[in-house]
Amino acid sequence: MLLKLFPSSNKTMKIKVSVYRYNSAYQSRPKYDSFTIPYHQGMTVLDAILFIYKHLDSTLAFRYECRQGICGTCGVMLNRKPVLSCSTQINPKIKKNIIEPLANFPVEKDLVVNLKPLLKKYLKIKPYIEKIKKKIITKDIANKSKPYRKCIECGCCIAGMEITKTSKGCLDPMSLVKIARYLTDPRDGLNRKPIAKELGVKYYSEEIGRRISKSCPRGIPIDEVIKLVK
Amino acid sequence: MRYRTIKTEILVIGAGGAGLRAAIEAKKSGLEIILLGKEVLGCAHTGMAMGGMNAAMVLPATPGFHAKITLEGGYFINNYKLVNIFTEEIPARIHDLENYGVIFDRVDSGEFYTWAGPKQKYPLNICVGDYTGREMMQGLVDQARKIGIKYSDEFFISRLLKKDNCIIGAIGINLKTSDFVVFQTKAIILATGGAGRMYEVTTNAASNTGDGYAMALDVGAELIDMEMVQFHPTGMAYPPSSRGVLVTEKTRSHGGILRNQKGERFMSKYYPIEMEVAKRDEVSRSIFQEVAAGLGTKNHAVYLHVNHWSKEKILEIIPDVYEQYINVGVDISKEPMEVYPSMHHIMGGIKINQWAQSNIQGLYACCEVASGIHGANRLGGNSIAEGQVFGRRAGMDATKYVKKIKYSTLSRENIQKEIARINQYVKNTKGIPPQEIEDQLKKVMWNKVGIFRDEKRLKEAKIIVSKLLREAKNMRARTNIRQRNRDLQDCLEVNNMLQTAQVVIEAALLRKESRGAHSRTDFPEMKDEWEKNIMVKKEGEKIVTKVIPVVK
């Protein structure tokens, strides 16, 4: 059976993973379940999750769609770092890999986070092109906003930031990226810097940005974003 | 069993490119509309489109040229009328997308950057890097947020409700809570995409389970060209977790080279003129034959080289492909990729007219769930484009239609019947879990209804799928948890995949020739008398087929 699923695993090396469990409907006490699963070379976090769901626990809640690292729905914490589960490999040398829902989000169930509060906040920055001006777009102009247009709204940046007392409730990095995306688009007619200011961009330094960038699976330079938005 | 009823003039099912475009258009009328998607808004399969989309934006390409190669590419069983509308209107839809925020790649002068896919003597493909679909989705989602489209994501519609020949509603469950919701509506726009998940190896997202085909068949809609299943020549072959993941055609069109295990540029044997940029069906067959002849790699694949390009070129042209392979430990600037065909697209679907209407009043369909644009083989770049044109048309016509009619009363009996069907999966204590049926279906479709087909294997597939359909009646969700019961969702989806598989096989058995994506080893020639469409529909449980003339 296992060989059929993972044809490359001739030797059935086993690994241990610990998975966060919670059900907001019952406000159950959060806990971690341990699973021992067969490892195969190149195994991703999503492979591990799917194996557990298919063979060990059918109640496990998680999201995935594309397996291509592009839809942005499968973000989780792997050993306390935000990753896209479909494009991140499990390290078999770690004694126990820990899989948790994205940090800094309310958890709905297990690995599924509730995105509603984030999206509600997101609307405040008007995450769309406004007061469109007609402009010819050249390659240079298109390339200015291109790095920020790569955002897939996966939430990894939010999960990867340290939230302190001063930063609590202020603008999140995903919103900052969107603001940068429209600041670098000459067609956008909205004055976006005051919005960012009002929502607390001052909390961010380029140094913080550099740290958050490490969580972005799309490699968006968040320090550049902060420089731009400030 | 309790349920909530929601009244809405128009219900759009499916929140990919076409569904979003339809909703944006319908919203302009000021009518009450609701958009539903199975996945989180923005995460639909459209976003996985990589290389680009076709539109005559830069001369010498013209809509006429675009139409001509679409028909040639489709081996002349496309709906000519739809093709002409599509190619005429797509340039304006590209400008719409840019007004929603999208910026397609440019050259220095400000003109669109274009590249030539298969058959494109004049380049038609415009793109955003190799993540065109994702940027397009972002633009559409931004616009939907801007104009305040009401949506519910992670929602599953399981059945359409009709009275006489008219759509009157739909029923489904909220995937977060398993709560039942009934929609009383005057029109439904189906934009549910394809059914890739019924194949073992596919480029498709997990949500592509043929829901639209199954639900449309259930209400008596006519489908055509269901035998036409496209295999993209280059899916990732290794490692297992990435099997099938798309490697864009843009790679080959920019000079990517296919080689077999011996290092031979084998396309010269099959298509010496077109080489790597032959049509998708042609390249897929070539790779299949090469590997079948024992000339593949140990991972049952062929090599795709870009390691003769500069790293700058790789990062500019195909940054996501580079990333995809880096994630699995392969640096494509130094070593070749291993690729093998992967099920990619269903050319067939609900038969529509120029306003995306099906034969059921008030039921509209657009993009992959519909049919007619691509005939027997789809050209790369035509799918996400098609959804923009016909999504808009569906939205426009539906708003006109709903103003003319009244809501109908829904039959409680039909609603309770559907609720009972769904609850049964959770109540069943014996029976098979959905994953077991799904695994068997995937194998049958991949092995017997794949790139090459013949009567014997198709008949075997038919028997197995019928058996699976019987077993599926007793499928069992392994848990009765109400919050995020993925097993229950799987039960519903497996059923839809089986319904879809059944009509694919039926049509494939009937078409006794080889044309485009449908290659019969027992009928290897393309025949003039088969320049026809095969229509399938259901009468009760029975599948009825009919050969009908192509709309010219």
CATH of the domain at B482: 1.20.58.100
Q: Hey, what CATH topology would domain A2-113 get?
A: Ubiquitin-like (UB roll) (3.10.20)
Class level of CATH domain A116-229 = mainly alpha
Nearest chain A residue (CA) to B111: A138
Element at A175 (helix H, strand E): helix A173-183
β-sheet bridge partners, residue B393: none
Domain at B244, CATH number = 3.90.700.10
Q: Read off the tokens for B531.
A: 């320049």
Q: Which of residues 132-171 of A touch B (CB under 8 A)?
A: 132, 136-142, 145-146, 149-153
**Residue A41: predicted pLDDT:** 87
Which of B129, B142, B327 is the closest to A129 by Cβ? Answer: B142
Question: Interhelix angle for A206-213 vs A222-229, to 10°?
Answer: 150
ipTM value, please give it.
0.96
B-chain residues near A73 (CB < 8 A): 39-40, 43
Instruction: Establish if B143 belongs to a structural domain.
Output: no
When divided into structural domains, chain B yields a total of 2
Question: Interhelix angle for A222-229 vs A173-183, to 10°?
Answer: 60
Instruction: Establish if B518 belongs to a structural domain.
Output: yes
Per-residue pLDDT tens listing for chain B (552 residues): 789 999 999 999 999 999 999 999 999 999 999 999 999 999 999 999 999 999 999 999 999 999 999 999 999 999 999 999 999 999 999 999 999 999 999 999 999 999 999 999 999 999 999 999 999 999 999 999 999 999 999 999 999 999 999 999 999 999 999 999 999 999 999 999 999 999 999 999 999 999 999 999 999 999 999 999 999 999 999 888 899 999 999 999 999 999 999 999 999 999 999 999 999 999 999 999 999 999 999 999 999 999 999 999 999 999 999 999 998 889 999 999 999 999 999 999 999 999 999 999 999 999 999 999 999 999 999 999 999 999 999 999 999 999 999 999 999 999 999 999 999 999 999 999 999 999 999 999 999 999 999 999 999 999 999 999 999 999 999 999 999 999 999 999 999 999 999 999 999 999 999 999 999 999 999 999 999 999 999 999 899 999 999 999
Instruction: Establish if B78 belongs to a structural domain.
Output: no
**Domain's final residue, options B344, B377, B392:** B344
**Domain's final residue, options B315, B344, B373:** B344
Determine, for residues A139 and B106 on separate chains, whether the beta-carbon distance falls below 8 Å: yes
Q: Return the active site residues of B.
A: 280
Instruction: Establish if B467 belongs to a structural domain.
Output: yes
Instruction: Establish if B5 belongs to a structural domain.
Output: no
Rounded to a whole number of angstroms, the distance from the CA of A61 to the nearest CA of chain B is: 6
Nearest chain A residue (CA) to B39: A65
Instruction: Establish if B135 belongs to a structural domain.
Output: no
A-chain residues near B96 (CB < 8 A): none
Structural domain boundaries enclosing B302: 232-344
Q: For residues B419 and B544, state if they share a domain.
A: yes
Residue with tokens 């009937």: B510
A79: left (phi over 0), alpha (psi -120 to 50) or beta: left
Rounded Cα gap, residues B224 and B261, in angstroms: 39
Q: Read off the tokens for A137.
A: 């777009």
Alpha helices, DSSP H, located in B405-453: 412-427, 434-448
CB of A197 within 8 Å of a chain B CB? The answer is no
Instruction: Establish if B32 belongs to a structural domain.
Output: no
Q: For residues B442 and B535, state if they share a domain.
A: yes
- Beta carbons of B350 and B213 less than 8 angstroms apart: yes
Instruction: Establish if B321 belongs to a structural domain.
Output: yes
Q: For residues B436 and B332, state if they share a domain.
A: no
Give the A:B interface size as CB pairs under 8 Å: 157
Tens digits of per-residue pLDDT, A204-222?
Answer: 999 999 999 999 999 999 9
Tens digits of per-residue pLDDT, A103-124?
Answer: 999 999 999 999 999 999 999 9
Rounded Cα gap, residues B345 and B377, in angstroms: 9
Residue type, B261: Q
Q: Residue A103, Cα to own-chain centre: how many angstroms?
A: 9
| Spans of all domains in chain A | 2-113, 116-229
**Domain's final residue, options B321, B344, B367:** B344
